[in-house]
Amino acid sequence: MADVVVVGIGADGWPGLGEQAREAVAKAEVIAGSHRQLSLLPDTPAELRPWPSPLMPALRELLTCGRRIVVLASGDPMHHGIGATIARIVPEVRVIPHPSSVSLACARLGWPVESVTVVSMVGRPLAAVFAPGRRFVVLSEGSGSPAAVAEALSACGYDRSAVTVLEQLGGPGERVGPIRDDHDPLNVVAVECVADDPLPIVPGLPDDAYDHDGQLTKREVRAVVLAFLQPGGLLWDVGGGAGSIAIEWMRADRSCRAVTVERDPARAARIAGNAARLGVPALKVVTGAAPQALAGLEPPDAVFIGGGLTAEGVPETCWQALKPGGRLVATAVTVESESVLARWHRDRGGDLTRLSVSRAAPVGGFTGWRPAMPVTIWSVRKDLT
């Protein structure tokens, strides 16, 4: 196994490295990194290896070559960097960090680091739940990222947010200012959210926040269902409709993941659009009918069945796949689907709840209550054994 050291390097290059980092570079037989990072080093007898694409096969080959290796990484290698990947392959790796771009950005703006949410666009779509007063530092993928951040803010009603682009932090070409047309590819974007009429981040978004064809778990029911589900981990949302349960599960915390299964292709496309617009583009949408479409999916920590209860094998497949200790919540509005919930409640226990909601509506020149169809909710936790 190779002797591996991961060295964080900033835009200030060689002058910004400490004694330990310089010593590791001087002793290296092979130095790997991006073309930009390698160009920051002085002349060296070591073999220089720019990263190819794809990266992983070359990385594994490098780490098992039996030579003294230095891997260059931007800033702090363990913060959205290559350090964690290398540590999974070579547990005894030594990491010498440099101040991260997040720390440098917060220092320039006078923001406490612990008050900031960090979002990475590197190799993934922008996924951020905006909220009034919330501060973000977005790790950019390139020169086009600031414009993409501005577009996402506008789509969610946060046009008045303060956006600052910080380029080449710590280097001689450092520049801090508003969005322009010619940003350096090495940049981060700082956002302080401001909105006139923001969407809440708690469960129960307004129904009109979703594009739907009527197949939508309504706001009040949605809030109760998510309270029963207790967001955390991976959710299966079976019978996605407009995707509202899966979307609000993921909005609850950035660590939450979800897969929604919807048999209608038009609705599946609508779910993807809702997810992108509401800040959770990583929602996985599977087009197909349950239970067949559930085959091969990662076992869930929680399951919501909002449609397909009466289809043969749907509850059984979901229950079997659910991890021990996980929660299953299902809703019913018809007598036939209620009978399924009654049987499962008899056999598995849990709680049955009937929710009736009425909304004020005009009655002639007055206001009266217009009741919605009552919804029966079954909630159960799977035993740990």
**Cβ count near 182 (within 10 Å):** 5
The pLDDT score that the predictor gives to residue 363 is 94
Using DSSP, state whether 9 is helix, strand or coil. Answer: strand
Angle among Cα 297, 303, 304 to the nearest 5 degrees reads 120
| Residues whose CB falls within 8 Å of the CB of residue 36, separated by 6 or more in sequence, listed in order | 186
- Residue numbers of the chain with a pLDDT score lower than 70: 1-2, 127
The pLDDT score that the predictor gives to residue 81 is 87
For the chain, residues classed under CATH 3.40.1010.10 are 3-98
Using DSSP, state whether 326 is helix, strand or coil. Answer: coil
Could you please state the CATH topology (level 3) that the domain comprising 3-98 is classified under: Cobalt-precorrin-4 Transmethylase; domain 1 (3.40.1010)
For the chain, residues classed under CATH 3.40.50.150 are 207-381
Tell whether the torsion through CA atoms of 161, 167, 171 and 173 is positive or negative: negative
Render pLDDT for 263-312 as a digit per residue (tens, 0 to 9).
Answer: 999 999 999 999 988 888 889 999 999 999 999 999 999 999 998 899 99
Distance in angstroms (rounded) separating the CA atoms of residues 73 and 8 = 5
Distance in angstroms (rounded) separating the CA atoms of residues 300 and 297 = 8
To the question of pTM greater than 0.85 for the whole model, the response is no
Q: Which CATH class is domain 207-381?
A: alpha beta
The pLDDT score that the predictor gives to residue 11 is 92
Contact of 304 with 295, CB cutoff 8 Å: no
Angle among Cα 159, 143, 152 to the nearest 5 degrees reads 25
The pairing of beta strand 94-96 with beta strand 3-9 = parallel
Distance in angstroms (rounded) separating the CA atoms of residues 130 and 139 = 16
> Taking Cα atoms as reference points, which of 16, 137, 144, 14 lies closest to residue 79?
137
The pLDDT score that the predictor gives to residue 122 is 81
Residue 244 belongs to what H/E stretch?
helix 244-252
**Cβ count near 293 (within 10 Å):** 18
The pLDDT score that the predictor gives to residue 27 is 93
For the chain, residues classed under CATH 3.30.950.10 are 102-192
Using DSSP, state whether 36 is helix, strand or coil. Answer: helix
Q: What are phi and psi of 336, to 5 degrees?
A: -65, -45
Could you please state the CATH topology (level 3) that the domain comprising 102-192 is classified under: 3.30.950
The pLDDT score that the predictor gives to residue 278 is 86
Contact of 189 with 120, CB cutoff 8 Å: no
Distance in angstroms (rounded) separating the CA atoms of residues 143 and 28 = 32
* Half-sphere exposure of residue 144: CA atoms within 13 angstroms, side-chain side: 4
The pLDDT score that the predictor gives to residue 57 is 85
The pLDDT score that the predictor gives to residue 384 is 87
Using DSSP, state whether 134 is helix, strand or coil. Answer: coil
The pLDDT score that the predictor gives to residue 2 is 61
